[in-house]
Amino acid sequence: MPQALVGIAIFFLGGLVSPLAGARWKGPLFALGAGLAQVFILPAVLRVLWEGHPLTLAVDFSFPIGLAVFRMDPLAAFFALIISIGGLLTALYSLGYMKMYRESGYSLSTYYLGMGLLIAAMLLVVLVQNALLFMIVWEIMSLASFFLVSFEHHKEEVRRAGVYYLVSMQVGAAFLMTAFAWASTRTGSLDFASFSQVLGGQDLSAAGLFLLFLTGFGVKAGLLPLHTWLPLAHPAAPTGVSAIMSGVMIKTGIYGILRILLIGGVPHLLLAYLVFGLSLLTGIFGVINAIAQHDLKKLLAYHSIENIGIIGSGLGLGMLGLAYGQNTIALFGFLGGLLHVLNHFIFKSLLFYGAGVIYLKTHTREIDRLGGLIHELPVTAVLFLIGSLAISGLPVFNGFISEFAIFAGLARSLTLGSVSLNVAILCGLAGLAFIGALALLCFTKVFSICFLGTPRVPHPEPLTEAAFSMVAPMLVLTVMILGIGLFAPLVLPLLTHVLGQFVPGLGGAEFAGLLALYRRLSLAIAALGGFSLFFLGLRWFLLRGKAVTRFKTWDCGYQEGSSRFSYTASSFAAPFMQLVALVVPQELHVQPPQGLFPREAHYASHSHDLLEIMLIRPVNAFLGRFLGLFTWIQSGRTQQYILYGLIFLVLLIIWIMGFS
Amino acid sequence: MMTALYILVLLLAPFFFIGLINRVKALWAGRRGAPLLQTAYDLGKMLRKGEVLSHTTSFIFPLSPALQLAAVLCAALLVPLPGQPALISFPGDFILFAYTLGLAKFMLVLAAMDTGSSFEGMGASREVTFSTIVEPAFFMLLGSLALLTGQTSFTAIFALLNYSAGYSILVKSLCAISLFIMLLVEGCRVPVDDPNTHLELTMIHEVMILDYSGPDLAFLTYAAAFKMVLLGTLLANLFVPFNVAPLSGLLLTLAVWALLAVGIGLVEALTARVRMSHVPQFIFLMTAMAVTTFAVALFFLRGGA
Amino acid sequence: MSAILIVLFGTTILYIFAASRIEAFIKTLALQGLLLFLLILIDLHEINWWNIALLGLETLVIKTIVIPYFLLAVIRRNEIGREVAPNVSQLYALQIASVIFTFGFIVAFWAARTGTVAQPLYFGISISVIIASLFLIVHRKRIITHILCYMMLENGIFLLSLSVANEMPLLINLGVLLDLFVGIYLFVIFFDLIHAMYDGNNIDVLTELKD
């Protein structure tokens, strides 16, 4: 356990030294620190995952915090694994990516300092078991990420995104603090273990406490309707930060919910339905909005919301299994949810890294200005393709493995016989299938518009492939995708103890049955691979000695083709957007062609987030008007404010003396 | 032995299937129509030719048809035939079935967009849009069947599907109608798409393979036909009892396929292509049917035996 | 013995109220730092050696030598002399100072009576120091004076923590050092950035920064 803390300290120090180092050395020093930290953290993590015994360290801080326990149980180890590796990969990626910023005159000290602080804080979040210390490191995490998001603060939209993000995080933290305060005053202690008295049980206060925690952690995770900060913050941040935020940081919200679940024991049935239904809605809403986007990073941000929805529905299914006392269903649900946490980290980081390369080379995030990149950036294209296939949940890749678990769990629950459960399962099956088909739509769109076809806006000069420091993390992630996708029965045993924490009395037989199932699944997938190789070989054989010529694309006899004719992202998504027009309001600015020989025409579309318009803006407007009534208090004179403080102090002392 | 026969029949069926559909359409129109095995002759011709690739395409274009064919064949491993359990079967295999077909679709769409032509982009866009409506409905259908039988793999479901109880016939009929509509969508038949032309009005599947030639086109055509036969097999499984002798099961399956092909031919001959903006409504019919199927299954399961 | 030092400490407050030269203020702050150091030495037996080293560093080195030296250097470089005439005249301010002191002694008596604090006299004087420095911020107009009052506030808080507990929690030490750090930081901002644009004589100008 102390080694893990040393590892965390090294991450932090790697960032701390960056103001002292020269501009070219900040990156390598941080990457070195990240790599060194792995040496300390990974063995402890892997040992806990493999053996299942938690590591503990108790430190006595003075008055407010008291005795704080740092515990790495299998759940914490699982998340620590993700955070740690994510930190290392982003450190490597930033070596190449931040060069662009360094050459434009930015100082990277803030970046690396913030990054080191963020990763260290996230690792501490999953380890501490003391409520006050948890809030401290949670806030440090939020603030560090705020500074990272506002890296390009001279741009107005980045500033606005940063402030929106900060406020959202504080709202979430307020809910968390209320919940922790309630729990610790009821139990008289700040330690998580003592909270099981208030969280366990089926009474109303336990449910209310759970809802408070769900809201607080849900803001961080991006559950509906608290997700509105995600699509603003991720595009505004530099790519390495977006990857860490999307792949790792929002998972700390999921970690929080899981921790509360562990402390509370078997959840109330209605809460399980709530989590399940809310997550389905989150997934569907996220992916529908993703299809409407034409900014690459905003699209990926909405997909993160969708995947959090998938994770949440897995967790919800697990909770339903626990509530109904069905261990197998709980096993499938939690397996799907937890594995998807890992899977999403892998493929979302890969996609963000690829998007970063695109931005670096073409200086635009607008999909409709890209095209044909596969010829100039082949390696990035292939890796991005693998990421797209993985996120669509297609077999051979890792996304399928976790989605399969959730689907299989859902299908099994149909045998239970409860009507309300069956209706929920129906919605779950239909919802997840819908999400899968939509993800397919979205990523065929993204990949094909960005990489395939011809460039829609010509490049001034030819592009070169990304530097190795950026490609290497993507390669590592690809290997992980294929590893989990093809060799799932080998990877799943790592999760045995994590799942054992959630599904009490998990027998070896049930888990062995699960592994047998996955072995047959892998057999089918291996058959797929085998067939592919066979047919590729057949094709090669058939074309041996035959003429294979190149010509222009069949164009129905047009004489003057142009890349402007090819389909754009908005056209690709248009049929679908028409179907869901009620859910995604679109704003059109159209200047149609006029006259017989039109000279100019103009079309711009912009989609809005429905929940932000219906929910967040009215609340903000009301608050603005209400608090505007009190502006007279703020006169701008500091002395007046100090006078307020002075009067308060004197009155307080008199009151204490007189009335206590 | 029987297994090998089944596999052979399954692999040869697509030619006859398409041939029969075209024959029915031709006969209804008063023509004599092409030979039944015309598709086989066409495919043979294509396999012997070379290829023309577009300048715009990348390595994805040539790889895609082989991958699609592999995916469709892999999906076939999971589907049982009456009297013959599936080659690979496990609880939840219908999920792999649906997603493998999804993988095939992904590769098809990518290859279409690879050409950079707006025709193919149009087809791709419509194809993926329709699949967003079809997928949930398919899962709901299978959910109903799983609810009814308490099993979650194709082989187990069809083995237990009791065909004598009254409500089970109702559920199976509803399922069959939905699967038929799904066949029309996935096979790109009228009223969703016209396989004979690629005018703008009917640009869905035919247009996505415009740029293909030679062996690639052969692979694609076969994969599309094979997919239809697979869905037809699911339909056959619904109506032919599972515990028949293998030979009679095979003959009954052939009969169902033939009936299906004739049915599709008649639908194609008798109906016109639905207006493009109405196609989603038509496909929603499948979703509505699927929800109804589930409701019926739930109702009878709770109330009846 | 310690009572004498405490009362001496309190008298320095009255001196600050009376004086209007900035240099006098700074030198008084240095004297306060020295007094605090002596007070800690007297209470030696109750604090462990690690804390003593830190406290010694804080009071003797930083509060008595480093900060006043630094401030004097800045004053002399910018040629700042006296305090500007405040709104309420000096006479009334001095009377209010005596009222504050009385209040402080009342608090000291109350604390001695209820027995909740270890050193009642420390407690009372420190409360009056805190209130007095807050009042002084409200009263005076120059920004430099506000910074100096802030330092005095920190001295008062330091004294308060000495009185309330027998041992000095590390947290309070760190808090005081942090506040000092922030104070100096703001000071530098004022004198490098804001002074270029605004005259540091009158704080009213800063109301333009209100949004």
- State mean pLDDT over A222-241: 91
- What residue of C is the nearest CA neighbor of A658? C110
Long-range contacts formed by A420-427: CB under 8 A, 24+ apart: A420/A273, A421/A320, A421/A324, A422/B147, A422/B298, A423/B298, A424/A273, A424/A276, A424/A277, A424/A320, A425/B143, A426/B140, A426/B143, A426/B291, A426/B294, A427/A277, A427/A280
pLDDT band at C202 (very low <50, low <70, confident <90, very high): low
Q: How far apart are alpha carbons B95 and A404 in whole angstroms? A: 7
Is the per-residue pLDDT at A34 higher than 50?
Answer: yes
Q: A573 with B126: CB under 8 angstroms?
A: no
Q: A433 with A393: CB under 8 angstroms?
A: no
- What residue of A is the nearest CA neighbor of B208? A554
Q: Which residue has the higher pLDDT, A271 or C176?
A: A271
Q: Which residue has the higher pLDDT, A237 or A13?
A: A237
Q: What are phi and psi of A504, to 5 degrees?
A: -70, 145
Q: B289 with B181: CB under 8 angstroms?
A: yes
Question: Which residues form the domain of C110?
Answer: 2-208
Chain C positions touching A642 (Cβ under 8 A) are 134, 137-138
Is the per-residue pLDDT at C50 higher than 80?
Answer: no
Within an 8 Å CB–CB cutoff, is residue A638 touching chain C?
yes
- Give the model confidence (pLDDT) of A186-207 as tens digits: 888 888 888 888 887 778 888 8
Instruction: Count helices and strands (H / E) in chain B.
Output: 10, 1
- Tell me the CA end-to-end span of chain B in Å, nearest whole number: 39
Contact B70 A389 (CB under 8 A): no
pLDDT band at B305 (very low <50, low <70, confident <90, very high): very low
Is chain C in touch with chain B: ≥3 Cβ pairs within 8 A?
no
- pTM beyond cutoff 0.95: no
Is chain A in touch with chain C: ≥3 Cβ pairs within 8 A?
yes
Which of the listed ranges A418-432, A545-559, C115-129 does the model predict with the highest average pLDDT?
A418-432
Chain B positions touching A571 (Cβ under 8 A) are 121-122, 125
Residue among A471, A390, A375 nearest B60 (CA): A375
- What residue of A is the nearest CA neighbor of B113? A448
Within an 8 Å CB–CB cutoff, is residue C131 touching chain A?
yes
- Nearest chain C CA: its distance from A640 CA (Å): 7
Which chains, if any, share at least 3 CB pairs under 8 A with chain A?
A: B, C
Say how many domains are in chain C. 1
Percent of the residues in chain B that have a pLDDT greater than 90, as a whole number: 43
Q: B258 with B20: CB under 8 angstroms?
A: yes
- Tell me the CA end-to-end span of chain A in Å, nearest whole number: 46
Which position has the token pair 């007046």?
A: A640
Q: Which residues pair with A605 in a beta bridge?
A: A588
Chain C positions touching A646 (Cβ under 8 A) are 131, 134-135, 138
pLDDT band at B260 (very low <50, low <70, confident <90, very high): very high
Orientation of helix A419-451 relative to helix A296-324, angle to 10°: 160
Is the per-residue pLDDT at A147 higher than 70?
Answer: yes
Chain A positions touching B92 (Cβ under 8 A) are 404, 407-408, 411, 517
Contact A539 B62 (CB under 8 A): yes
Is the per-residue pLDDT at C200 higher than 60?
Answer: no
- What residue of B is the nearest CA neighbor of A291? B129
- State mean pLDDT over B79-101: 89
Q: Could you say which of A432, A453, A531 has the minimum Cβ distance to residue B74?
A: A531
Q: How far apart are alpha carbons A329 and A322 in whole angstroms? A: 8
Give the pair of three-digit tokens for residue B215.
Answer: 């062996």
Is the per-residue pLDDT at C57 higher than 80?
Answer: no
Mean pLDDT, rounded, of chain A? 89
Q: How many CB atoms lie within 10 A of CB B273?
A: 18
Within an 8 Å CB–CB cutoff, is residue C206 touching chain A?
yes
Q: How far is CA C88 from the centre of its chain?
A: 21
Q: What is the per-residue pLDDT for C142?
A: 79
Q: How far apart are alpha carbons B61 and B66 in whole angstroms? A: 10
Is the per-residue pLDDT at C196 higher than 80?
Answer: no
Contact B70 A534 (CB under 8 A): yes
- State mean pLDDT over C78-101: 77
Q: How far is CA A215 from the centre of its chain?
A: 17
Q: A81 with A45: CB under 8 angstroms?
A: yes
Window A:392-431, CB contacts with B under 8 Å: 392-396, 400, 403-404, 407-408, 411-412, 414-415, 417, 419, 422-423, 425-426, 429-431
Locate the DSSP E strands across C74-195. none
Is the C-alpha dihedral spanning C29, C30, C31, C33 positive or negative?
positive
Q: A588 with A574: CB under 8 angstroms?
A: no
Contact C170 A62 (CB under 8 A): yes
Contact A653 C107 (CB under 8 A): yes
- State mean pLDDT over A615-640: 86
pLDDT band at B73 (very low <50, low <70, confident <90, very high): very high
Amino acid letter, C170: L
- What residue of A is the nearest CA neighbor of C146? A639
pLDDT band at C166 (very low <50, low <70, confident <90, very high): low
Give the pair of three-digit tokens for residue C107.
Answer: 């608090």
Within an 8 Å CB–CB cutoff, is residue C103 touching chain A?
yes
Contact A553 B128 (CB under 8 A): no
Q: How far apart are alpha carbons C198 and C149 in whole angstroms? A: 21
Within an 8 Å CB–CB cutoff, is residue A463 touching chain B?
no
Q: Could you say which of A63, A635, A650 has the minimum Cβ distance to residue C131?
A: A650
Q: How far apart are alpha carbons B8 and A356 in whole angstroms? A: 50
Contact A639 C127 (CB under 8 A): no
Q: What string of DSSP letters covers A192-227? A: GGGGHHHHSSSSHHHHHHHHHHHHHHHHHHT-TTS-
Contact C207 A646 (CB under 8 A): no
Chain B positions touching A393 (Cβ under 8 A) are 99
Q: How far apart are alpha carbons C137 and C93 in whole angstroms? A: 12
Give the pair of three-digit tokens for residue A435.
Answer: 């999400």
- Tell me the CA end-to-end span of chain C in Å, nearest whole number: 52
Contact A650 C210 (CB under 8 A): no
Give the pair of three-digit tokens for residue A393.
Answer: 């949940």
Q: Which residues pair with B81 in a beta bridge?
A: B84
Burial class (CB in 10 A: 0-12, 13-18, 19+), B164: exposed
Is the per-residue pLDDT at C211 higher than 60?
Answer: no
Long-range contacts formed by B31-39: CB under 8 A, 24+ apart: B39/B14, B39/B15, B39/B221, B39/B225
Contact A415 B150 (CB under 8 A): yes
pLDDT band at A320 (very low <50, low <70, confident <90, very high): very high
Contact C127 A637 (CB under 8 A): no
Q: How far apart are alpha carbons B147 and A425 in whole angstroms? A: 10
